[in-house]
Structure 1
Amino acid sequence: MKYFEHAKEIWTKYVPKSGQSDIVEGELIRAIEKLRWEAQSNGNGNWDEGFEMLALYILEILNDNDVFRPETLSEIQSDVNTLLTSEYEPYLEDDLYDRLADRVIEWHFAKKGPIKRTINQNLYR
């Protein structure tokens, strides 16, 4: 992971002990780590709409052609698609999760964040 220390700082500052972050970058990092944990620790045994919502949120924010080049956008879309189609075959390697976390930091730099967000009342993960 290229930006581990930056991701750690966002986690420490903006991800609460429980519940969602009210900062976009914090919520993105939280979503990536929840998806990683669910795959690696639970084999996606608890996979449900909440995890899909997390993956789709990552795609919604990072699918930003003002920040990323087309080849990077394709990679982000592919990575998120891998997560969305891994309910029965969880993606266990760290590379995909680390790559998405690096993209969060790149997005954060480009947007000169942190960026406030509204909590999603329909998300319970």
Structure 2
Amino acid sequence: MLAAVDHVQLAAPPGSEDALRAYYAGVLGMTETPKPPALAVRGGCWFRAGAVRLHLGIETDFRPAEKAHPGLRVTDIEGCAARLAAHGAPVTWDDALPGHRRFYSRDPVGNRLEFLQPG
């Protein structure tokens, strides 16, 4: 029955849209996609890069995801880690997944993100 993951939604606090745009578009190089007008009034931002779609929705009593996270496959794990570190984002390498290089980071509102590359 399932064909694909359409998108992953992460929560964000009210008023964080500018910081989210700076990070997801500016640092990660994703493209912001317009939200339908009926949803845009709720705030938040939608981003995409190829088939990857992330929606950041505003949550009044926001708490960052400590364990839950999207796993984002990259083509240049070292370059990605260097870019994030250069922009002040934390980079925590983890070698527990056989056959992959990976690290964890946090977006500007504290959500956990995993970046990984097979090989």
* TM beyond 0.5: no
Greater fraction strand: 2
Q: Between Structure 1 and Structure 2, whose CA radius of gyration is higher?
A: 2
Q: Which has the higher contact order (CA 8 A, sep 6+)?
A: 1
Greater fraction helix: 1
TM-score (norm 2): 0.29
